[in-house]
Every structure is written in C-alpha cells, then in structure tokens.
Amino acid sequence: MTSAKKRVLYCPSAPAEADVALVFGVVGGEADAPQLQYLSEPVPLTPELSSLADGIRPEEVYRMTSRCQEQRCQHFSGSSCQLGQRLRDELPAVTSELPPCSIRATCRWFQERGTAICFRCPAVVTQVPAVAAQAPAAKARRRLRVLQP
Ligand code: SF4
C-alpha cells in the first residue's frame, strides 16, 4: 500500500468563528504599518480574551489559527491557499529574518510558500478595520500589549 497519510495543515489567518481558534499573535504597529507580535505559544480564543478587544472584532487585533477548511474556504484552489500566494506575490517583505512564530510546523502558508511568506506575514491583518474603527482598534491593540512576550 502506497497511500501516505494526508498531512493536516492549519490556516494562519482564521476567523474567530472557527471551531477551535487559537491566538498566536497580536497586531501591533501602526494602522498603516501593522506589525504582528508573535506569542510564544498559541492560546485559545476564550470569551475573556475576546472581551479584551473591547468591542473590536478579534480578527482586527489578533491573528488566529485553526484547521484549514480546504474546499469550504473561498481561498482554497483545490490544492493550495490562493490567499497565501497573493500575499507572497503582492506584499513587500517586512523582515529578512524568520519571525518567532509558534505555528510554523502546521502552517499552510509556510508549507506552500516557504520562508518568503513568513517575511511578509507580520504585516498581515486578518480583517482590516474600517477607517472609523481604526482609532478604537489602535486603542485595543495598545491595551493588548500586555499579552505580548
Ligand atoms: S510566520 Fe510563517 S509560519 Fe508563522 S503564521 Fe506566518 S506564514 Fe505561517
């Protein structure tokens, strides 16, 4: 028998509604230059953690990971994540060093796009706040710095 067991990969930009959403980073930096602060290990998105965002959607202030939904996700081509490809192709690198990311072993983007996507990943925000919500989101991010290593 030759069939290898299919590897389970995780989305590095999962929504809060995902079955099991784990927070692995907190968005820092400025509204026009976000800079993800990576947690030393992922933590579950609990109601308490959501409430720290104080009315701001978790996707605006956290990066979360959850099992890749593959065919159920609009970004999946059938064999790979097109969002990861677009980000690698269109975003400039924001670092030349691998970020201290705790989910690399299971990250779909890394598995498919290699280190090039990691050099862009700190600038990715899952949901960019509307202009009117940018000031509250920035305030929430400042408060959330307490979570960062
Ligand atoms: S830094 Fe690399 S491994 Fe970590 S979430 Fe981003 S793309 Fe995935």
Express each pLDDT in 30-44 by its tens digit: 888 999 999 999 999
Number of the ligand 1 atom closest to the C-alpha atom of 63: 5
β-strand partners of 35: 28
Q: Report the C-alpha gap between 102 and 87 in whole angstroms.
A: 20
Number of domains in the chain: 1
Ligand 1 pocket check for 109: Cβ under 6 Å: yes
Residue 54 lies in a domain: yes
* Residue 76, SS3 per DSSP: strand
- pLDDT bracket for residue 101 (50, 70, 90): very high
Instruction: Convert the pLDDT of each residue in 70-100 to its tens digit.
Output: 999 999 999 999 999 999 999 999 999 999 9
Ligand 1 pocket check for 81: Cβ under 6 Å: no
Output the CA 2–ligand 1 centroid distance in Å. Answer: 31
Output the CA 86–ligand 1 centroid distance in Å. Answer: 15
Residue 19 lies in a domain: yes
Output the CA 51–ligand 1 centroid distance in Å. Answer: 25
β-strand partners of 37: 26
Residue 42 lies in a domain: yes
Domain that holds residue 70: 10-147
Output the CA 1–ligand 1 centroid distance in Å. Answer: 34
Residue 33 is given by DSSP the state E
Is residue 83 a contact partner of residue 75, using CB atoms and an 8 Å limit?
yes
Residue 101 lies in a domain: yes
Output the CA 133–ligand 1 centroid distance in Å. Answer: 26
For the chain, give the mean pLDDT.
89
Contacts of 132 (CB under 8 A, 6+ apart): none
β-strand partners of 107: 10
Is residue 116 a contact partner of residue 18, using CB atoms and an 8 Å limit?
no
Q: Which two tokens stand for residue 127?
A: 């949901």
Ligand 1 pocket check for 110: Cβ under 6 Å: yes
pLDDT at 5 over 90: no
Residue 1 lies in a domain: no
Residue 4 lies in a domain: no
Q: Report the C-alpha gap between 77 and 49 in whole angstroms.
A: 33
Residue 34 lies in a domain: yes
The Cβ of residue 27 has, within 10 Å, a number of other Cβ atoms equal to: 27
Residue 23 lies in a domain: yes
